Amino acid sequence: MQYRTGMAGRIIIVRFEDGEDILRGLRKISQKEDIKAGIFYIIGGMRDGEIVVGPKEDKIPPEPVWRRLGGSHEVIGMGTIFWEGDEPRIHLHGAFGKGDAVRVGCLRRGSETFLVIEAIIIEIKGVKAVRELDPASGMTLLKLH
């Protein structure tokens, strides 16, 4: 286990409008506001998206299992912002519900807002953390300095 301590910086409130891409929007805000580390929460509706619902088998490197949401869903989620090189990387896990069906997973592509999504971003100050390629898993993972 590794850990560092920091403190809360700015708090940014975001309203994503119908049709806007959530992942792209979070990256854009992170770049514009120069947020190097942060946590965020989202709540609202999504029209579409692709999530990873786990690995096919419990082995490294993991082979992801993809699911397309398709159609409007309620969503609640949280995630982190850390940079990989010159770009912010968004890691968002959430619960996505439609009727009696609920899926939980990591939102990775096609994150289109339905009606509205509210997001709260909390900047983390005083830590140096980045995403770097982990050769064993083939994934970009959090690295603390």
- Kindly report the pTM of this predicted structure: 0.95
* Bridge partners for 87 per DSSP: 84
Q: Is residue 46 part of a domain?
A: yes
What pLDDT band is residue 9 in, cutting at 50, 70 and 90?
A: very high
Give me the DSSP letters along 8-49: EEEEEEEEEETT-BHHHHHHHHHHHTT-SEEEEEEEEEEEEE
Per DSSP, 121 falls in state E
pLDDT given for residue 112 in this prediction: 95
For residues 115-144, one letter each, b for 16 or more C-beta atoms within 10 angstroms of the residue's C-beta and e for the rest, the string is eebebebbbbeeeebbbeeeeeeeebeeee
In percent, how much of the chain has pLDDT > 70? 100
Residue 85 lies in a domain: yes
Name the one residue in this structure whose structure tokens are 């403190």: 7
pLDDT tier at 62 (50, 70, 90 boundaries)? very high
Residue 59 banded pLDDT, cuts 50, 70, 90: very high
Domain assignment of residue 4, yes or no: no
- The structural domain count of the chain equals 1
Question: Is residue 20 included in any domain, yes or no?
Answer: yes
What pLDDT does residue 113 have?
97
Residue 114 lies in a domain: yes
Whether 5 is in a domain gets the answer no
Q: Which domain holds residue 77?
A: 10-126+136-144
Residue 71 lies in a domain: yes
Q: Quick: pLDDT tens for 118-133.
A: 999 999 999 999 999 9
- Quick check: is 1 in a domain? no
The CATH number covering residue 106 comes to 3.30.1330.80
Q: What is the mean pLDDT of the chain?
A: 96
